[in-house]
Structure 1
Amino acid sequence: MDMKLEVVVLPVADVDRAKAFYAEQLGFRLDADFTVDDSYRVIQVTPPGSACSLIFGTGVTAAAPGSLDGLHLIVTDIEKAAAELTERGVAVDGPFRDASGVFHHAGSTGRVAGVHPERRSYGSFAAFHDPDGNGWFLQEITQRAPGR
């Protein structure tokens, strides 16, 4: 049976600020904005080219705002993607690679400035946070590993 990740629920403190950040500043597609009452509002946005959406709002999660870390957006050109986000007013850390060459460590431990020296897929990253502190990574993938 196929299982596809369709939605990630994002904990935010200020729904309108999050909507402006994701839909306007980042340019994610605004799929829905439903207000049922003062205690329940659902907003759904989708990154360009993604099959997985984000949902945030009022009454959709008990998680603390800003508590998600390690969300990944896959790009084919890490330098171009980081520059585009910077142009949109987002503070971006990177590009960088991890000293281990495996993945990236939590926080900024093991970061080496610059892209992977061979531009190996899965080896270059950049990072940013939304206004609530939810942590995002850009990861450059130009050739998928077999079976993916």
Structure 2
Amino acid sequence: MDMKLEVIVVPVSDVDRAKLFYLDRMGFRLDADFRVRAGYRVVQVTPPGSECSIIFGDGLTPTAPGTYLGLHLIVTDIEAARRELTDRGVEVSGPFRDITGAFHHPGTAERVPGLHPDRASYGSFASFQDPDGNQWFLQEVTQRAPGR
């Protein structure tokens, strides 16, 4: 049986501010904005080329805004993606890799500035935050690992 991750609920404090960020700054597509009733609103947006969307709104999750650390957007050219987001007004870190070369540590721990020396898939990252402080990573993948 196939199982596909299709939606992630991201906690935000101000729905309209988050909507502007994800649409105008990030270039995500608006899929839905349902104002069901006072205190219950559902906004769904999707990154360009993604099959997985994010939902944020009012009355959706007890999770505190700004507590998501480690959401990933996969890109084929991290430098181009970083430039595009920076041009849109998003503050993106410079490219980095983790000292272990395996993934990355939380926050900014054990970062080595610069791209992976061989520009290996899965090895280069950049990070940014949404207006609430939810942390996102860009991860460069130019060739998928077998089976992915």
- TM-score scaled to structure 1, two decimals? 0.98
Aligned to 1:133: 133
Aligned to 1:30: 30
Aligned to 2:115: 115
Residue deviations 1:16-58, cap 9 Å, x none?
A: 0000000111110000001011111000000000000000000
Aligned to 1:40: 40
Q: How many residues align?
A: 148
Across the aligned residues of Structure 1 and Structure 2, the Cα RMSD in angstroms comes to: 0.6
- TM-score scaled to structure 2, two decimals? 0.98
Instruction: Structure 2 unaligned segments of length 5 or more: list them.
Output: none
Amino acid at match of 2:128: F
Runs of 4+ in 1 over 2 A off after TM superposition: none
Percent identity between the aligned chains? Answer: 71
SS in 2 for 1:35: strand
Instruction: Structure 1 unaligned segments of length 5 or more: list them.
Output: none
Aligned to 1:67: 67
Which deviates more, 135-144 or 90-99?
Answer: 90-99
SS in 1 for 2:81: helix
SS in 2 for 1:70: strand
**1:106 CA drift (Å):** 0.9
Counterpart Cα distance in 1 of 2:38 and 2:45: 20
